[in-house]
Amino acid sequence: MTTTTEAPPRDDQQVFDALIEADSRVEPRDWMPDAYRRTLVRQISQHAHSEIIGMQPEANWITRAPSLKRKAILIAKVQDEGGHGLYLYSAAQTLGASREDMLDQLHAGKARYSSIFNYPARTWADMGAIGWLVDGAAICNQVALCRTSYGPYARAMVRICKEESFHQRQGFEILLALSRGTEEQHQMAQDAVDRWYRPALMMFGPPDAESPNSRQSMAWKIKRVSNDELRRRFVGMCVPQFEALGLTMPDPELRFDEETGQWEPGPIDWDEFHEILAGRGPLNAERMRRRRAAHDEGAWVRDAAAAYARKQTERPAPAGASNHKEVAA
C-alpha cells in the first residue's frame, strides 16, 4: 500500500513498523515511509488551514459582541485559533513542508480546510453554537489524535485540546445565557443549534464504509478511532448537554441503541456534505476571497519586514535600534 519512491533499506521499514506496533511515537528524525509523511503533511496542513479559515466567521462578530466580557472572550478565542494554526504549521514543517508552500496551496484552492466554515455565522448565538458544537466535534477528533503516532502532531494536539475545551465551555455558556434569557434570545439559540448540529456531525467525515483513506491511517495509527465511532461519541456527549441547555436536539430520528449502549443519529444528508466539499457551499468562495485578500494586501508588509531584516544583517545595527525587543517575525 505504501508507495515510496525508493525501496527503503529493509531495517528502516522494520524499525518504523515496530514503532507503530509498539504504540511509540515517530519523531522528525526517524525514517518514515513517504506516503506516511505525505498523509501527515496533508492532514496537519488541512487542520492548520481550518484554524485559519475558521477565524473568519467568529472574527465577524468581534466588533458586535453584545457585552465587553463576551467581546474579550471572543477575541481571545479567535486569537487562540491563530495560535493553533501556528503550532500546526510548525508541526508540518518538521516533516519538511514549508509554511509558504502550504499557504500557497490553500490560496490556490488546492488544499482543503474543514468545510463547516463555509456556512455563515448569522447571529450572535452562532458564536455559542460554533464554540459548543464545532469545537466540541473538533475535540472528539483531537482527543483521539493526542495518541497519534507522529510525535510533534500528537504534542500539538495535547496543547490544542486544552484550549479547545475552554472554547467549548465558553460556547456552552453563551448558549446557556441565551437559552435562559428573553424569548428572542432563546429562539436565537435554538435557531443556531438547528443550523450547526448537522454540519458538526459531518465534521467526522463520511461513514466508515465510504472512507477508504481511513483504513491506511488507522493502520499507521495516525487515526486512532473511526469516523462513525467518533460521531457516536459526540452525539452521546450532546444528548445530556442539550438537555442542560434547555434546547431541542434537531434530530427527530435520534435513538438510543440498547445493545451498544450508544446514541445513534438519524440519517445524514451526505449530498449536502459533498456539495460543500466540492466548493458549492454558501461561503466557499467568500472565505477564500477574504483569505487571499488578506494575504495579497499584506504582501508589501512582509516584503518590508524581509527587506528590513536583510538590511539589519548586512550593516552594523545603529546604537539606538538594538534595545527594542523583537515582537513579531
Partner 1 sequence: DHDVAQYAQWLGDDALVLAQRLGAWISRAPELEEDIALGNIALDLVGQARSLLHHAGTADGRSEDDLAYFRDETEFRSSWLVEQPNGDFAATIARQLVASTYMHELYARLQHASEPTLAAIAAKAVLEVAYHRDHAVQWTLRLGDGTDESRRRMVAGLDAVWPYVDELFADTPLIDRLGDRAVRPSTLREPVLAALRDVLRQAGLAEPDLPPAPCGGRAGRHSEYLGYILAEMQVLARQHPGASW
Using CB under 8 A as the binding rule, the residues of this chain from 105 to 144 that contact partner 1 are 120-124
Q: What would the DSSP string read from start to end of 277-304?
A: IIIISTTHHHHHHHHHHHHHHTHHHHHH
Q: Hey, which residues does 262 pair with through a beta bridge?
A: 257
Cβ pair 121, 57 in contact under 8 A: yes
Among 4, 13, 35, 66, binds partner 1 (CB under 8 A): 66
Cell for 161? 485540546
* Per-residue cell: 118: 463555509
Site for partner 1 in 18-47 (CB under 8 A): none
Q: Which is nearer to partner 1, 110 or 324 (CB)?
A: 324
- Please return the burial class of 102, using the count of CB atoms within 10 Å of its CB with bins 0-12, 13-18 and 19+: buried
* Grid cell listed for 209: 464504509
Judged by CB under 8 A, how many residues of this single chain contact partner 1?
74
Rounded to whole angstroms, how far apart are CA atoms 148 and 155? 9
Tell me whether residue 21 or residue 183 sits nearer to partner 1 (CB atom).
Answer: 183
Closer to partner 1 by CB, 147 or 295: give it: 295
Shortest reach from residue 86's CB to partner 1, in Å: 6
Q: Cα 131–132–135 angle (5° rounding)?
A: 60
Min dist CB 82 to partner 1, Å, is 5
Query: Of these, 129, 130, 144, 174, which contacts partner 1 (CB under 8 A)?
Result: 174
Contact positions with partner 1 (CB under 8 A) in 250-309: 275, 278-286, 289-290, 293-295, 297-305, 307-308
The region of 131-139, 148-156, 245-253, 319-327 touching partner 1 under the rule CB under 8 A is 319-327
Length of the chain equals 329
Nearer to partner 1, 267 or 318 (CB): 318
184 in contact with partner 1 (CB under 8 A):
yes
